[in-house]
Amino acid sequence: MSGHAGTPSIRTAHDAPPPAATPLTLLDRAAREGAEAASLAPGATLAHGAGNRRVAESPDPIRTCFERDRDRILHTTAFRRLAGKTQVFVLPADHQRTRLTHALEVAQVARSIASALRLNTALVEAIALGHDCGHGPGGHASEDALSPYLAEGYDHAVWGADVALADLNLCAETLDGIRNHSWSRPVPATPEGAVVSWADRIAYVCHDFEDAVAAGVVAEAMLPEAVVARCGSSRREQLAAFIDGVIHAVLASGSIGMLEPAADALAGFRRFNYEHIYLREASRHQAALVVDVLQALVEHYAARPELLPEKLSGALDAARGPGAYRAAVTYVGGMTDRFAFRTAQAELGWPPERLPVGIDVES
């Protein structure tokens, strides 16, 4: 149906008069950019004067350049595929985080910080939603699996900005924040990018622990007392403590950081996760299985580039070499967990006992 007849030439969603509304004046892009200049903090990244893209585009009549980036990321296949990619547990079961839900939680943490500090929330959201689009299947083990095939190695942050999201023609500021969100990378060029770096760590430390508790890998009582004393025992308390630690650090210093007591608690929390979750024997075994199967897939497609999607194979000549390996890495790196493992079984005859297995949780 096309809706219900309202005023002449207007349709309504419901068969009843809609609430009265005062006619509005369109808040177009120029007006929104003007509002940013008046409302954002000194040093925040303004949309006006930004929007530098690899290929020049006409501005959108309504959205700012960073709102446009956020929308492009939200609607792209690389973002949707995060729903099927490991966050901390391979083949995530119901209620366990995926890379997609992680990205959404990072965006919410980052927006909470940015809103309080009067930074550009659209840029923060764009960076946060896109920050993990370069991750391969099977979690961080995919970086170990795919790095040997690239001269520069496989870094999910760089790969996301330069490969997985390259077709979106994003703004330089958005790409910089995605490329440099990892703490091992150079400092982001914008305060919004620096906020996402903290939000990423805050989000995964808290929610990976919660998922591990639900899966029976750890117990809440195992969290060190020094950590609990500073940030609490529930995820709500922990997020609040770490978000407040960032906000008040910026208010005190003018720089994006975290107050030392909260930062010490976050570091202790992260060390606990590494010891008891990420680097436990079962996790290392799963990671080794991920590396084996992903490398077998890369070798398979590099030797048979004609099997790759036309977008990747069309530019390759018949010769085998670095180009074929890069194309194979691009294809395998974009796979979801289940697609990668099913493909290995179908194409390579991969034995099921050599595949990673997920951890079930109670509903």
Q: How many domains would you assign to the chain?
A: 1
Does an H or E element contain 111, and which? helix 99-117
Rounded mean pLDDT, 65-86 = 97
Task: Output 195 or 10, whichever has higher pLDDT.
Answer: 195
Cα 215 from chain centroid?
Answer: 23
Residue 114 confidence class, pLDDT cut points 50, 70, 90:
very high
Residue 171 three-state SS = strand
Residue 9 confidence class, pLDDT cut points 50, 70, 90:
confident
* Residue at 313 is within a domain: yes
* Residue at 314 is within a domain: yes
Give the separation between CA 309 and CA 264, rounded to whole angstroms: 47
For every residue of 25-84, DSSP letters joined together read: PP--HHHHHHHHHHHSPTTPPPSTT---BSS--PPPSSS-HHHHHHHHHHHSHHHHGGGG
Each residue of 317-359: pLDDT tens digit? Answer: 545 677 899 999 999 999 999 999 999 999 999 999 999 988 7
Each residue of 16-26: pLDDT tens digit? Answer: 777 776 767 78
Q: Are 247 and 183 in contact (CB under 8 A)?
A: no
* Residue at 306 is within a domain: yes
Q: Are 92 and 100 in contact (CB under 8 A)?
A: no
* Residue at 178 is within a domain: no
Kindly report the number of other CB atoms within 10 A of residue 321's CB atom.
Answer: 11
* Residue at 84 is within a domain: no
Rounded alpha-carbon distances, angstroms, from residue 238 to 140, 160, 199, 205, 289: 24, 29, 12, 10, 33
Residue 316 confidence class, pLDDT cut points 50, 70, 90:
low
* Residue at 359 is within a domain: no
Taken as a whole, the chain contains a residue count of 363
* Residue at 278 is within a domain: no
| Torsion angle defined by CA atoms of residues 70, 71, 72 and 74, in that order, rounded to the nearest 10 degrees | 90
Q: Domain range spanning residue 293?
A: 283-354
Q: What is the pTM of this model?
A: 0.94
* Residue at 121 is within a domain: no
> CA nearest 295: which of 92, 178, 187, 145?
145
Each residue of 153-198: pLDDT tens digit? Answer: 999 999 999 999 999 999 999 999 999 999 999 999 999 999 999 9
Q: Are 46 and 135 in contact (CB under 8 A)?
A: no
